[in-house]
Chain A
Amino acid sequence: MEKLITLVPLFPLVGFLYQVFFGKNTSKQLTTIIGSGAIFASFVVSLIVFNSQLHSHHAVTVKVFEWIHAGSLHIDFAFLVDSLSSTYLLFITGVGFLIHIYSSGYMSHDEGFNRFFAYLNLFVFFMLILVLGDSLVTLFVGWEGVGVCSFMLIGFWYKEHANNEAAKKAFIMNRVGDLGLIVAMILIFSNTGTLNYVELFNHGKIASLSPSMLTTIAIFLFIGAMGKSAQFPLHTWLPDAMAGPTPVSALIHAATMVTAGIYLVARNGDLFEMSHTASNLVMYVGLITALMGATIALTQNDIKKVLAYSTVSQLGFMFVALGMGAHSIAVFHVITHAFFKALLFLGSGSVIHGMGGEQDIRRMGGLKKYMPTTQKTFLIGTLAIAGIFPFAGFFSKDQILAHAMEHNMPVFILLVIASACTAFYMFRMYYLTFHGEFRGTHAQEHHLHESPASMTIPLWVLAVLSIVGGFIGFPHAMGHAIHFPHALDHFLEGPVLVAVGDMSVTVEIILALATMGIAAVMIYVAHNIYIAKATPVLEDNEITSPIHKLLNKKYGFDELYEAMFKKPANAIGHAFATVVEWKIIDGIVNAAGTAAEGVGALARRLHGGHIAGYLLTFIVGLIILLGLIFKA
């Protein structure tokens, strides 16, 4: 069955190529059918492969073609099918398919409809290459590919300059991370002679490395992960990436691409396991990011920005889990997060669609009346991310917290604070958007409508997944007591590190109740402020409290980077352009050109056209030549 795996990335590639070559003359319906159909076909094959993995549980390498063969470097373009990659496959193609369907409604009035589907298909193709590759080199192809697609999709509405700026920012920030990944790859190759996962980990090549080298490699790999997964201090591109169409935010900047960093760390889990320093770094960076994202989200008023910072924060949670060695839990949170965050983004897209492009929650309110389906599914997503039983987010987040409690108490407390913030900002947004009085203009109110079925059906599917998705990872101790297994851990065990705590059932239950209690209190507080008292949200220029200002300005990272990197880089660039380039290099080039012309003018004089002169040159040439030969 695993042989079929080649088909999985092939379908989106074919879809992409179709749009490239025939897209212009294709109707929107056919584009939808081909674009979504390609992903659906991939999803079906993924299901077959996944099912086969579920039974056999054996990692299989499928060689597609011989790729690079130069000296000692031998790299095949091959796919590694194991439980980790097949799990990723399933939600990439599954969520990807739903978002394609949704896009057919959301983008229906856009003139770049074909282009959009082409990019989306290409993105899915590269994302599949990323998770299927059997070596870091193949991963890198996908890694850069999704980066390019992300760039093109953030700047999809390229006529607005701000979108291009955001696209550039995302690309450049990612390049910083990519450099880390490249350095890690070079170090691994120069020390072990291979970049293939099986050879590195199963054949023990990695174990032969010195501890300091292991730590260095792990840290550089993690820098790569930080760029792609928007971890502090490389996180500032992700909120700006919301400039892209909302389905893009849902698919790329919430559900799939940004979790590539988690995949990278989980895939190279043994490496991190062997380096305590690197693992701790992962945990602390994740913790800082989780807290920072959650606190910034408290004060944002753009519906997509809130979700973006929430994504940053949730990715931080995942890295904390990775840093604690609970890799399977991180992957679990990736999956549940893909469900509910895609749901929330698509819900926000539905709201933006209904509001005619308005994204500021201060201009919304009372949308429940106009968009009941969006409201209901959005509430489900909000409950899921807030961590309320039995919604999916509860299970994964609870297990991260449980591990933190066993592992490191201060980290646990800070995570609890971050998750309390999550409950608050999510319900703040929910209440401001769907409850209370409508605060927008009359024109907007008149325009309000529920979104078409192509958009609401994916919402419902994701809502259902957000409700039941958590049960694939039932907590160990409790599950043991009621004979409900942690299906995901069992499945992932082997390729992915599984950390099983020794927590008792009682503690597990108390912890679950306590975190839910805190979330409930935060929801109540949010309700109290924004519904019962109906406190108006301050406009940006009315903010006086310094802390509020700091959070609203996102801790000033953008301004800091502007002053630290952008301005000096621009100054250096300007100096190079004016002095080095124009004066020195152009000067040399022009001088060389002038010299060449001068020599040419001399050479040309020889060709006077007189035969006698030519003959003389011959004889002189012969004499000089003889002289050269007999000079010794």
Chain B
Amino acid sequence: MKELLLTALLGIGILVLDILNLKKYVLPFILLALATLVGFIAADWGTIETPFGQTMLVYENGANLALGVFAVVLFFWFILSSSYFKQHEGKTDLYALVVFSFCGAGLLASFGNMAMLFLGVEILSIPVYVLAASKKHDLASNESGFKYFILGSVASAILLFGITLVYGATGSFDLAVISNFIQDGKDASIIMNVGITMILVGFLFKISAAPFHIWTPDVYQGAPTWITAFMSTIVKAAAMVALFKLFTGPFQFYVEANGYTIGVIAAVTLIASNTAALWQTDVKRMLAYSSISHAGFLLSTIIGNASLLSLLFYLLTYSIAGIIAFGVIKETQTLEGNPLKGLYRRNGVLAFAFTAALLSMAGIPPFSGFIAKYFVIAQLIEAKYFALVVVMIITSAIGAFYYLRASLNVYQHIENAGRIVLTPLIKWTYILLTALLVLLTVAAGYIHLL
């Protein structure tokens, strides 16, 4: 509970600092708060806390770990994005919005009640609509925010409708009650099934799985790059954690009955995203399709009897690679023509970090994306979803093509390359994150100790 309070207070605190004209302390303040948050999580390890009775929020190891992963990713996001926000006049407002959105992510990690779930989704999404449109004089950014808002509201409506139907069938918002309802042997009615399907659709939109993914390239491309990075990592990860909690918890019976259908959704997502990515010439749009293809992998975790740990491992790995990749794109965005071409001549650290991130996304050892995908595929094989595994492997091969094409681009020779200068803090953060991509591979061996 104190984690959530801390986050909410942090958001308000940022606004207060703005009023007191202490803008230059905002970033250290945020980083300190996030570090404290991780400290709280570590201190709470192993305890179970249920504020507001049994129903609303449940803090146990899984929820805490998810929150910890989000906090770590957000920590690095704030460091790397600092050079962009430095020139931004409305910096503190945007920071506050990000932190509020993060509050929603916190709710999604710990909800024990569908009301909290819906609140979490909305708190997560509404600041992002604003953030996506935050480049006020940029048409693409406005379009991005507007599209996201319209489509997001429809998705929220479908989600809410689904929650209502489930309430109608079971008489409760409480996950424990819903679980017991099924376990007591009562038949799931049509209403219940329709409701759960609509909840699923709401989340498929949020994690951008097919066929509810088509907004993603437009919105990701149009939004300011650092906001895209936030959307494709933390927003997506939080939605995925919520989806995972629901469908491996109270709705497990639904997954057992319809595993095949969910497998088809994952397969279609993988095929549609990876083949479309082949055509992309804009690297940001290519990463949007890459993000969709990861949704295919993430969605598969719920039918493969995966553990929350392996999902969080995937999310952490993917998020680190994601903020590196979007970060590098942002650093080069001011350049003319093809900005990534010959990047190694402009800045070796950025070039190497970018390559490592893309190779990790492609699932090539020794980067941890390989292990993350390996976990997913191994669990799918155990659950006997062979056709889906075949699709994953073929689409990964297609994926390797465009990831490698983009990373080779970085090493092309160019004349008169102007240097890109990074501050020491940012440079070392890139190095640290790249090292993390390798270290996580090693750490994967110890994951069972948690």
Contacts and interface: CB of A to CB of B under 8 A. Distances in A.
A603 interface: yes
A593, A603, A606, A628: which has the most chain B beta carbons within 10 Å?
A603
B90 interface: no
A603 B197 CA distance: 24
Contacts of B276: 600, 603-604, 607
B151 A603 contact: no
A611 B273 CA distance: 19
Contacts of B158: 618, 622
B278 A597 contact: yes
B58 to A, nearest CB: 28
A615 B275 contact: no
Interface stretch (B110-118, B212-220, B343-351, B403-411): B212-220
Interface string A585-621: 0000000010011011101101101010011011011
B398 interface: yes
A630 B258 CA distance: 10
B261 A625 contact: yes
Nearest to A608: B214
B271 interface: yes
B218 A626 contact: no
Contacts of A1: none
Contact of A601 (B147, B201, B273, B279): B279
Given A599-B275, A600-B275, A600-B277, A629 B218 contact: no
Nearest to A618: B212
A597 B151 contact: no
A67 to B, nearest CB: 16
Interface size class of A (residues with CB under 8 A): 20 to 34
A615 B197 contact: no
B258 to A, nearest CB: 6
Given A603-B276, A614-B214, A622 B198 contact: yes
A625 B268 CA distance: 12
The number of chain B residues touching the other chain, given as a range, is 35 or more
Nearest to B215: A614
B264 interface: yes
Looking at chain B's contact residues, the main secondary structure is helix
A620 B398 CA distance: 28
A611 B265 CA distance: 22
Contacts of B398: 596
Contacts of B201: 618, 621-622, 625
Nearest to B211: A621
Contacts of A597: 275, 278-279
A622 B214 CA distance: 14
Interface string A449-487: 000000000000000000000000000000000000000
B42 interface: no
B272 interface: yes
A617 B261 contact: no
Given A597-B279, A609-B218, A611-B150, A617 B193 contact: no
Contacts of B264: 628
B154 A603 contact: no
B194 interface: yes
A628 B261 contact: yes
B205 interface: yes
A603 B212 contact: no
A604 B274 CA distance: 11
B198 A615 contact: no
Contacts of B205: 618
A478 B147 CA distance: 103
B193 to A, nearest CB: 6
A626 B197 CA distance: 7
Given A607-B217, A622-B198, A628-B264, A617 B211 contact: yes
A625 B158 CA distance: 13
Contacts of A609: 218
B346 to A, nearest CB: 28
Interface in B144-159: 147, 150-151, 154-155, 158
A590 to B, nearest CB: 12
Contacts of A615: 150-151, 154
Contacts of A593: 401
A603 B273 CA distance: 8
A460 B284 CA distance: 73
A612 to B, nearest CB: 10
Interface in B130-173: 147, 150-151, 154-155, 158
Nearest to B200: A625
Contacts of B278: 596-597, 600
Nearest to B279: A600
Nearest to B155: A618
Nearest to B217: A607
Interface in B247-286: 258, 261, 264-265, 271-279
Nearest to B275: A600
A599 B273 CA distance: 10
Interface string B291-322: 00000000000000000000000000000000
B214 A596 contact: no
Interface in B171-228: 190, 193-194, 197-198, 200-201, 205, 210-212, 214-215, 217-218
A620 B212 CA distance: 10
Nearest to B210: A621
Contacts of B261: 625, 628-629
B206 to A, nearest CB: 13
Contacts of B258: 628-629
A624 B201 CA distance: 11
A596 B147 contact: no
Contacts of A607: 214, 217-218, 276
B194 A626 contact: yes
Contact of B275 (A603, A614, A625, A630): A603
B275 A618 contact: no
Interface in A528-581: none
Contact of A606 (B155, B193, B214, B401): B214
Contacts of A601: 279
A228 to B, nearest CB: 33
Contacts of A626: 194, 197
B275 A617 contact: no
Contacts of B193: 629-630
Contact of B147 (A603, A611, A621, A622): A611
Contacts of A625: 197, 200-201, 261, 265
A593 B147 CA distance: 33
Nearest to A626: B197
Contacts of A629: 193, 197, 258, 261
Nearest to B198: A622
Contact of A618 (B151, B197, B217, B272): B151
A618 B151 CA distance: 9
A617 B208 CA distance: 13
A620 B210 CA distance: 12
A604 B200 CA distance: 24
Interface in B353-397: none
B154 A618 contact: yes
Given A597-B278, A628-B264, A614 B151 contact: yes
A618 B201 CA distance: 9
Contacts of B265: 625
A611 B205 CA distance: 14
Shortest beta-carbon contacts, A-B, top 10: A600-B275, A621-B211, A599-B275, A603-B276, A603-B272, A628-B261, A600-B276, A600-B278, A596-B275, A600-B279
Interface of A: 593, 596-597, 599-601, 603-604, 606-607, 609, 611, 614-615, 617-618, 620-622, 624-626, 628-630
13 contacts: A596-B275, A596-B278, A599-B271, A600-B277, A603-B272, A604-B276, A604-B279, A606-B272, A614-B214, A618-B158, A625-B200, A628-B264, A629-B258
Given A618-B151, A622-B158, A628-B264, 18 more contacts: A596-B275, A599-B272, A600-B279, A604-B276, A607-B217, A611-B147, A614-B147, A617-B212, A618-B158, A618-B201, A618-B212, A620-B211, A622-B198, A622-B201, A626-B194, A629-B258, A629-B261, A630-B190
